[in-house]
Amino acid sequence: MDVLIIGSGGREHALGWKISQSKSVKKVYFAPGNGGTSENVNIKQNDIGKLLSFAKDKDLLTIVGPEEPLSLGIVDTFEKEGLRIFGPLKSAAMLEASKAFAKEFMRDANIPTAKFAIFTDAQKAKDYVRKQKKPPVIKADGLAAGKGVIVCDTRDQAIAAIDRMMTKKDFGAAGNRIVIEERLIGEEASFIALCDGKTIVPLASSQDHKRIFDGDKGPNTGGMGAYSPAPVIDSDLQGKILKHVMEPLIKTTKKRGTPFKGFLYAGIMVGENGDLQVLEFNARMGDPECQPIMMRMKSDLYDYINAAVHGRLGSMPPIQWKDQSAVCVVMAARGYPGRYEKGKAIEGLESNFGPDVTVFHAGTARDPENRLVTNGGRILGVTALGRDARRATDNAYSAVRKIRWGDNDHYYRTDIASRATAR
Ligand code: AMP
Ligand code: GLY
């Protein structure tokens, strides 16, 4: 079987790296891919017509990485043409594409989540904020590349956030409607599972670091690093997440006639006394969580995705994991998530990193001389295995220190996985 992976990030490189190790897979195409992926096809991730012709012509099984094509209905289009594709239908991808939809869904399905209200009128939203006892979280309803959430420390910040979203339109149409949510306190973790509409097969737990600076300071980014397993998710908590979050979600989506097939990602806040609340759903694999998860997976990813596409996950055994930790440190362009430069030649990638390290590419490209150059905000996901979180972290950072570009133009956090190593 040949496979097509849609997207161009570290997540897609890691999925392709893993699936190409399957005995059942001959060739993996990436559309559009990046400087680290081979067999790139020059089709944009939102050009559904061209992607469809390509996949049809070559009879491929398609895996969708990012949310954009999912929210555009790529799975609906491919399935109508009888093609095999792993991802949710547009109606199920709404769980990520609209935060208001997700919150109302959780209320219906009885899934624990923060108290909320939905507004399309800025004045009413501000009046509501003024009546709250504590400063809330303001969320743009639509997709905003992980940047449409503002966690506020004061009510004035919340009022300013409403103005940014609804009046100044900083997030475009995504901010026409907003969700105002009670601010939760606790430790965040990601719980990701494979679903075929009926059955849930959990992946290993993980945690990411969303903020740009050490100590989880500064603005949110797409993710500056991740590790697996997440010590905060013990087997007791995993049981609770399955029972109170994943199972009600699968049941309710099925009942509504929009069964969920694909990677289902729940962002969970674990409170001090072990209670859990859902912060968000994503209808896709996490990036960078995917990178450490793929490094730890022993089972054949293709077998599971193929089973999910055919609705046969119920007959698959649990996934086998390496009894090791994996840590991914994201190397970004200095200035990200604000302005940054592109086109810097990356040095040090030819170093001998040892067998425990894999460097996944994200914002990289080949220049006319075939040199690897920077081509985005998040550039590389340097990922390493180790006996425990401490050793995996050391292995990842020894590799990171061998890589650079431009005149000190690379940036990375120095405290990835510190919550795991502290435990
Ligand atoms: P979301 O895209 O909804 O997960 O929000 C992005 C990030 O904002 C989350 O990963 C949290 O760090 C933070 N966040 C979102 N909702 C809340 C909340 N209700 N309380 C505290 N932090 C939140
Ligand atoms: N790393 C967070 C996400 O993929 O949404």
At 262 the pLDDT is: 98
Closest by alpha carbon to 116, among 132, 127, 93? 132
Per-residue pLDDT band for 407 (boundaries 50, 70, 90) equals very high
Which CATH architecture describes the domain 115-181? 2-Layer Sandwich (3.30)
| Mean pLDDT for the stretch of residues 296-300 | 98
Residue intervals in the chain for CATH 3.30.470.20? 187-315
pLDDT in tens, 12-24: 999 999 999 999 9
Architecture per CATH, 325-422: Alpha-Beta Complex (3.90)
Residues of CATH 3.90.600.10 domain(s) within the chain?
Answer: 325-422
Atom of ligand 2 nearest to the CA of 223: 1
Taking the CB of residue 144, how many other CB atoms lie within 10 A of it? 17
**Cross-strand pairs, 196:** 261
**Delimiting residues of CATH 3.40.50.20 domain(s) in the chain:** 2-87
Distance 212 CA to ligand 1 centre (A): 15
**What is the whole-number distance in angstroms between the Cα of residue 358 and the centre of ligand 1?**
30
Average pLDDT over residues 43-59: 98
Phi, psi of 102 (to 5 degrees): -65, -40
Kindly report which listed range (97-106, 138-147, 160-169, 251-260) carries the lowest average pLDDT score: 138-147
The pLDDT of residue 305: 98
Average the pLDDT over 161-171 and give the result: 92
Encoded tokens for 67? 């949310």
pLDDT confidence band for 144 (50 / 70 / 90): confident
Question: Band of the pLDDT at 172, cuts 50, 70, 90?
Answer: confident
Long-range pairs, 46-53, Cβ under 8 A, ≥24: 46/72, 48/72, 48/73, 48/74, 48/77, 51/4, 51/6, 52/77, 52/78, 52/81, 52/83
Question: How many angstroms does the Cα of residue 222 sit away from the middle of ligand 2?
Answer: 6
- Own/partner pairs, 199-203, CB within 8 angstroms, 24+ separation: 199/250, 199/313, 199/314, 200/242, 200/246, 200/247, 200/250, 200/264, 200/313, 201/304, 201/308, 201/313, 201/316, 201/318, 201/319, 202/238, 202/242, 202/246, 202/319, 203/293, 203/297, 203/319
Query: Where are the domain boundaries for CATH 3.30.1490.20 in the chain?
Result: 115-181
What is the CATH architecture assignment of 187-315?
2-Layer Sandwich (3.30)
Q: Given a cut of 80, is residue 164 above it in pLDDT?
A: yes
Atom of ligand 2 nearest to the CA of 282: 5
- To the nearest whole percent, how much of the chain has pLDDT over 70? 100
For residue range 339-356, list pLDDT tens digits in order.
999 999 999 999 999 999
Residue 193 has pLDDT above 80, yes or no: yes
Asked if residue 345 lies in contact with residue 377, where contact means CB atoms within 8 angstroms, the answer is no
CATH class, 2-87 region: alpha beta
Q: What is the pLDDT of residue 132?
A: 92
